[in-house]
Amino acid sequence: MELSTTVATLEHYINGAWVPGDGGRIGSTAAADQSSILAEGTAASTGQVAAAFDAARTAQKSWAATPMAARGAILAKAAGYLTEHAEDFGAELAAEEGKTRAEGIGEVLRAAQILTYYSSESERAAGTVFQSPRAGEQILVTHKPLGVIGVITPFNFPIGIPAWKIAPALVFGNTVVFKPASLVPLLAMRLVQALEHGGLPAGVLNLVIGPGALGDAFIANEQLDGLTFTGSTGVGRKLCAAGAARGIPVQAEMGGKNASVVLADADLDLASEQVLFGAFRSTGQKCTATSRLILDESIADEFLAKLTGRLAQWVTGDPLDPSVHMGPLVDAKAATSAAQGIERSLEQGATLNYRGQAPDTGSFLAPTILELPDGEAGRANCAWQEEFFAPILAVRRVNGWQEAFEAAEDSEFGLSLALFTSNLALALEAQQTLDVGILHVNSESAGADPHVPFGGAKASGYGPKEQGAAAREFYTHTTTTYLRG
Ligand code: UN1
């Protein structure tokens, strides 16, 4: 199947109608060539953001009064629509964002799976009854929607992350105003179309597309009852502070600088495969990607030989070509900034362990492994400390698990950690002592199942975790009722 050559029209979805924006011209181009226009239109104005919030407010009461099972049924129908269109939407996603077609299709199916999960959540959600210390009384804890939720999402999972925020928001009775990353508006439209197809009433979900500055209009809008955000730590912290100042909850999923730790007793074939996937799938553009590699000195050379041997088989190129393993970065700006990161790291004493092949055009970057010097110089290297969001892996060598764990903790971030060992006691030690939100033992650092909590520690996360039953904590608040007959 080839990608359609028609240029999609970008429109906003406000109060159940698709409308052009009142703002300036916007569009999206193919990540790979930075020139083929995939979608174009006009940005939403701040007035349209306000109209979207008003529509969400008006729709909220009757949406909350709609039986949860009926809300769930809409999500289930939307999931079916996405599954049916997974091939087409997945190819669009790959073209717009730069991940491979297989990864794009996988992400559309993942969004469908998330909608299905939250549809079924509508049959499970319950409150709690407590015993009372007083005779003739029961204490009930019931959950109510927060109200109107703002959803602000990044470019790297253009449908997966919106699905995992919007689905729980809706099923728990909230209405939504959604602003996707302006680089990838097409898949945001596809998700909204799927939910519209599912039968969502007008005003329940509103989509506004435009520059990052529209986010300021979200946090300032007086109808906003809660905001969920995924993106950089800098923007996330600003939003958290602004939310706290006006007394509304903000859930922020922010940066990562995730380590893979390979200990002396690890299965090196398995570990080298999983580190390859963790570091280089989706061109390293995941907050859960492996960007730090900690190797026990005794196996370091052997491990690196296995990893670079695998990497040498990888083809970087057109994301729509089925023989390609890694596509471009999302745009030329991202590629330039990552290439500058490599240069700075080399200037700070890193050595180039491996650099693969990639097309020599704007948004591509060859997979790169940097080996960092011992001691303080390695710790301080920018490739160890900064999130590049690119296919760049920084390596340090250590002696023994204590040094390895210390190195893993040496980051302001605490999202995900992959530990490769055959020693169960060390896996449990990591679980008990390392400050990360997600621990993978003998599997890659990326990935998240819809039914389990997702989120990080330290600078990686703020507020309740996402996904699974954890999502209810953010999207609802509780009333505790002391009930006497
Ligand atoms: C994954 O690892 O499959 O922005 C999901 C991100 C994360 C999602 C990671 N919020 O990359």
| Predicted pLDDT at 334 | 98
Q: Domain 258-452 belongs to what topology?
A: Aldehyde Dehydrogenase; Chain A, domain 2 (3.40.309)
Rounded to whole angstroms, how far apart are CA atoms 34 and 359? 13
253 counts as catalytic:
yes
Half-sphere exposure of residue 43: CA atoms within 13 angstroms, side-chain side: 18
- Give the mean pLDDT of 147-165: 98
Mean pLDDT (the chain, rounded): 97
| Predicted pLDDT at 5 | 65
Q: Which helix (H) or strand (E) holds 399?
A: none
Rounded to whole angstroms, how far apart are CA atoms 92 and 103? 11
| Predicted pLDDT at 389 | 98
Residue from 97, 103, 107, 253 carrying the catalytic annotation: 253
Please choose from 229, 277, 280, 286 the residue to mutate so as to test ligand 1's pocket, defined by most ligand atoms within 8 A of CB: 286
Give the whole-number percent of the chain exceeding pLDDT 70: 99
Please choose from 110, 183, 260, 288 the residue to mutate so as to test ligand 1's pocket, defined by most ligand atoms within 8 A of CB: 288
Give the whole-number percent of the chain exceeding pLDDT 90: 96
The CB of 286 under 6 Å from ligand 1? The reply is yes
Rounded to whole angstroms, how far apart are CA atoms 120 and 113? 11
**Are 136 and 485 spatial neighbours (Cβ–Cβ below 8 Å)?**
yes
Model ipTM?
A: 0.95
Q: Which atom of ligand 1 is nearest to the CA of 286?
A: 11
For the chain, state the CA radius of gyration.
23
The CB of 156 under 6 Å from ligand 1? The reply is yes
**Over 50: is that where the pLDDT of 207 sits?**
yes
462: CB partners within 8 A, 6+ apart: 236, 237, 240, 250, 251, 252, 254
The confidence band for 177, taking pLDDT boundaries of 50, 70 and 90, is very high
**Over 90: is that where the pLDDT of 485 sits?**
no
Residue 198's CB is within 10 A of a number of other CB atoms, namely 21
- Per-residue pLDDT of 219-273, as tens digits, reads 999 999 999 999 999 999 999 999 999 999 999 999 999 999 999 999 999 999 9
458: CB partners within 8 A, 6+ apart: 411, 412, 413, 414, 435
Residue 454 DSSP one-character state: B
Tokens encoding 295: 């190797």
Kindly list the domain boundaries of the chain, sorted by start residue. Answer: 8-254+460-484, 258-452
| Predicted pLDDT at 1 | 39
Q: Which atom of ligand 1 is nearest to the CA of 285?
A: 11
- Per-residue pLDDT of 394-414, as tens digits, reads 999 999 999 999 999 999 999
**Over 60: is that where the pLDDT of 2 sits?**
no
Report field, pTM of the whole predicted structure over 0.80: yes
Residue 68 carries which side chain, given as an amino acid letter?
A: M
Give the residue carrying structure tokens 């104005």.
45
CATH architecture of 8-254+460-484: 3-Layer(aba) Sandwich (3.40)
The confidence band for 354, taking pLDDT boundaries of 50, 70 and 90, is very high
